[in-house]
Structure 1
Amino acid sequence: MTPSDRDATGLLTRPEPFVQLVTPTGERRANAEFDPWIADIDLAAVGRLYRDMSIIRRIDSEATALQRQGELGLWPPLAGQEAAQIGSARALRDDDFIFSSYREHAPAWVRGVKPAEMLSVWRGTASSGWNPYEHNMAVPQIIIGAQALHATGYAMGLAWEGSDAATIAYFGDGATSEGDVNEALVFAASFDAPVVFFCQNNQWAISEPVGLQSKQPLARRADGFGMPGIRIDGNDVLAVLAATRIALDRARRGEGPTFIEAVTYRIGPHTTADDPKRYRSDDEIAQWRERDPLTRVLALLEASGVDSAGLEREVAADADRAAAELRAAITTLADPEPLTVFDHVYVEPNTHLARQRDHYTRYLAMFDEPGAGASDRTEGTTR
């Protein structure tokens, strides 16, 4: 069973082929080109991938609940895209640098980002969640597609320094319509930058179906930029892992960028401010739930003789502990001091920023003046 693309009206059309190594029912499909790239992945490793996906799904659902309870201002769920994110993140070396959008919580978790750091931006207690150089992962990019340029520039720098490390840029199907992504593809192809463009085609750019943005599978766009395009089942963690390893190997050998289209589905809303029932049907969601990335791995393990029920119980306990840690982290996120907004803006101090800081300091001091009444405070806030 393969997912179908959409036509210009958003209706399902004929299926398009993609690489699939594990079917939704857990059947292992042989593939002469891709199998060698996951020859080291035994049943124990498959179990670890299942653990990764289960824990990040639980973290994601807990963060969604925290937002609904007023603890977070917003949250962009990843439910349904666990295989795409875990499979690709586990293919990376520690010195490869990740540039993500706002939905890649799984790569952040793989890189050791703490739950409190994951939540701080969405709670409004920090401008960015973590130090990028501690995890070799940039903080989430909110501007759609901008991270593709950042990944390309960093990759070009790696090549000029003689490093064989690479970068990966995560973005969605909607971002492929942005100028930043297309400019990044041009630069990467022109300079053979060691970057992997990883597109999670989750079928919807908020309420706009992918068929309104592209009449062809997104992976075919790579041809026009002079780079390979690989289309994979994004709900198949082994196919994702293999494809990303192939792309990284090309990058390390100086052969330039690769575009990967991981065909997946966003089960939940675009963000917790979105109501997906307004633009898609329950039947559509039900069809994609049958292609769940976690249940197919369990089915594969069970068919291979693994105690899948025992593994599921063990992993569920680990996931619950991670969710509890996430919830507890909320209480550690103190409101920042007002003047910290000027920290980490520039590497070196400058008079322009110092002047702004001085103005803001004097503005804040107005609220501490003895005898300042409500009218004074109101006037101060409008200056």
Structure 2
Amino acid sequence: MTISADHTAPDQAQRLPAEDAASEAVRKFGITVEDYMLPARHQIQMVDQDGQLKAEGEQGTEPGHEYPLPADEELLAAYEQLVVGRRVNDQNSALVRQGRMAVYPSSHGQEACQVAAALCLSDGDWLFPTYRDAVAVMARGVDPVETMTIFRGDWHSGYDPARHKVGIQCTPLTTQLLHGVGVAHAAKLRGEDTVVLAMCGDGATSEGDFHEALNFAAVFHLPVVFFVQNNKYAISVPLAHQSVAPSLAHKAVGYGMAGERVDGNDVVALLAVLDRAVKLAREGSGPLLVEAHTYRMQAHTNADDATRYRQDSEVAEWLAKDPISRMKTYLTGRGLLDDDGAARIAAHAEDVATQLREGLGEDVPVDPQELFRHVFSVPTPQLKEQSAMLADELAREASSEESPK
């Protein structure tokens, strides 16, 4: 589907941005703008949990919501990133137990969302991840050890955001959406061909920053794809206690943007939906909201006990929807993946795990004076005093260690 582009500022006295985005769908199918903005009645799914491609009429698509099958090369690249992501999630959980990482919010079970978010973007686009999106950061091309640096307690993020076009993984809930909207606004003012994909979870949709980010992006007609990973829980709070909307994708309509919901464990559907969302945003259709239905198989972090708020039977139900086994079955059935190819991908994933073990196993030199260097561009008198006190204390300690006993 080709959507007309409109790079002019929104004018409330004329057409709404959503009307321009939906114009061809309206002409082609005779639907209303409101119908175009609403998500499909059923989540978009292209490959079922048994790894079988659904027939075109079974995909739950409706007029204005058709999605072509992604290219074979894109699907194979996605599968490799899925396998690497799963191995990284499991390796990081082990590193936490070994004391090499302070904390790790695993995305085990959500890897399809992570991978699709990274692969749908061009080199000049920006990704703004949450604290749980380390696999997406890696799939974007960031070094694995640099990606995980933040989780072992280092004071900096570990990677250069400007070089990789990847924002810092945000621990504060939802702040990354505002950062992403700001980058998109700047890119539009400069006339740059940049799309921003900003990720968040279902709990983030209850935050004020979520409202501010979506409203600003819609009013200023910005090229942002808001990607909500709905894994059913905001830590321990179930979705039913967060929102009574028909879906989180329906929230988009209130801001004047289109929304869509997709099976978050179907990487084929995720790539199709996000590829199209990025394309529309790049063509000038304004922001879009995509909700992915997925599940985190493990606890919120290593400090959480998930058995307090969810049942084993629920976890088992989602285990059968695993995105990796589903994708492997699909690719094997199509003759795109054989035993040799699967072995090569598994070996690559093991190499990444080894790189993480070795990189995070190295002791990092600690300079206590860094506590004071980056608070203000010009240190305050109090900081100078505290720095001098610490320097004196460290010097006396070093002197006492060197003195003969």
Q: TM-score, normalised by structure 2?
A: 0.82
Q: Which residue of 1 aligns with 2:362?
A: 332
- In structure 1, distance between residues paired with 2:264 and 2:384: 51
Amino acid aligned to 2:391? A
Task: Give the aligned partner of residue 317 of structure 1.
Answer: 347
Q: What are the superposed Cα offsets for residues 128-169 of structure 1, whole Å, 9 maximum, x if unpaired?
A: 221111111011111100111111111011111111211111
Which residue of the partner structure matches residue 53 of structure 2?
A: 28
**Counterpart position of 1:147:** 176
Shift in Å at residue 354 of structure 1? 4.9
CA contact (8 A) 1:339 1:357 kept: no
State the 1:211 CA deviation.
Answer: 1.2
1:254 pairs, out of 284, 287, 292, with 284
CA gap of 1:199–1:111, structure 2 versus 1, over 3 A, is: same
Corresponding residue for 1:190? 219
**What is residue 305 of structure 1 aligned with on the other side?**
335
1:267 aligned onto 2:297: yes
Corresponding residue SS for 2:228: strand
Identity of aligned residues (%): 38
- Secondary structure at the counterpart of residue 229 of structure 1: strand
1:82 to 98, 101, 111: 111
2:387 to 339, 361, 366: 361
Query: Cα RMSD between the aligned structures?
Result: 2.1
Residues 1:356 and 1:166: Cα distance change in structure 2 (over 3 Å): farther
Shift of 1:372: 10
- Number of residue pairs aligned between Structure 1 and Structure 2: 352
Unpaired segments ≥5 residues, structure 2: 1-40, 401-405
Where in structure 2 are the equivalents of 1:17-96 lying within 5 Å?
17-29=42-54, 30=56, 33-36=65-68, 38-39=69-70, 41-42=71-72, 44-96=73-125
Structure 1: which 5+ runs fail to align? 1-15, 375-383
Rounded to whole Å, the distance in 1 between the matches of 2:82 and 2:386 is 45
Look up the SS of the partner of 1:250 in the other structure: helix
Contact 1:158 1:165 in 2 (8 A): yes
Distance 2:397 2:81 in 1: 57
Deviations 1:23-70 (A, max 9, x none): 11111123574433x45x12x432221111000110111011000111
**CA deviation digits over 1:329-361, x for unaligned, max 9?**
013350431222455666xx33xx354541332
Correspondence for 2:129: 100
Tell me the secondary structure at the aligned position of residue 248 of structure 1. Answer: helix
* Partner Cα distance (1:373, 1:354) in 2: 29
The residue identity in structure 1 corresponding to 2:328 is L
> Greater shift after overlay, 152-161 or 324-333?
324-333
Do the aligned partners of residues 333 and 92 (structure 1) sit closer, same or farther apart at CA in structure 2, a change above 3 Å counting? farther
Paired residues of 2:84 and 2:349 also in contact (CA < 8 A): yes
Shift in alpha-carbon separation, 1:302–1:145, aligned structure 2, 3 A = same
Per-residue deviation at 1:367? 1.4
